[in-house]
Amino acid sequence: MIEREIFDQAVTLTAIGVGTAFVVLLFLSLILWVSGWAFSRFSSRNGDVEAEVLELSPESRSKALAAVVAVATALQKERSRGRIGVV
C-alpha cells in the first residue's frame, strides 16, 4: 500500500503541475490576444492591401484566372497519372 504521506505529496505535486500548466496556457493566450489586437490596431497596411485587391484591373484578373486554371489542369493530369503524393 502507498503510505499516506507519499500520497499527499503526490496529490500536492499533481495539483501544482496542473495549476502551473493552466496558468501558462492562460498567459500564452493573453499574449496572443494582445499581440493580435495590437497588430490589427496599429497596422496601417490592412487598408492598403484591401484597396489594392479591389483595384485589380480586368486584365490582371484574367491573368490570375488563367494561372489558376493552368495549375488546376496540371494537377489534375498529374493525379490521373498517379504522380501526386508519390515521393
Angle among Cα 49, 29, 31 to the nearest 5 degrees reads: 65
pLDDT tens digits, one per residue of 4-61: 999 999 999 999 999 999 999 999 999 999 999 998 888 765 555 555 556 778 888 8
> Which amino acid appears at position 75 of this protein?
L
Q: Which of the four pLDDT bands, split at 50, 70 and 90, describes residue 78?
A: confident
pLDDT digits (tens, 9 = 90+) for 55-65: 778 888 889 89
Three-state secondary structure of 43-82: CCHHHHHHHHHHCCCHHHHHHHHHHHHHHHHHHHHHHHHC
pLDDT tens-place string over residues 66-77: 999 999 999 998
3-class DSSP state for residue 87?
coil
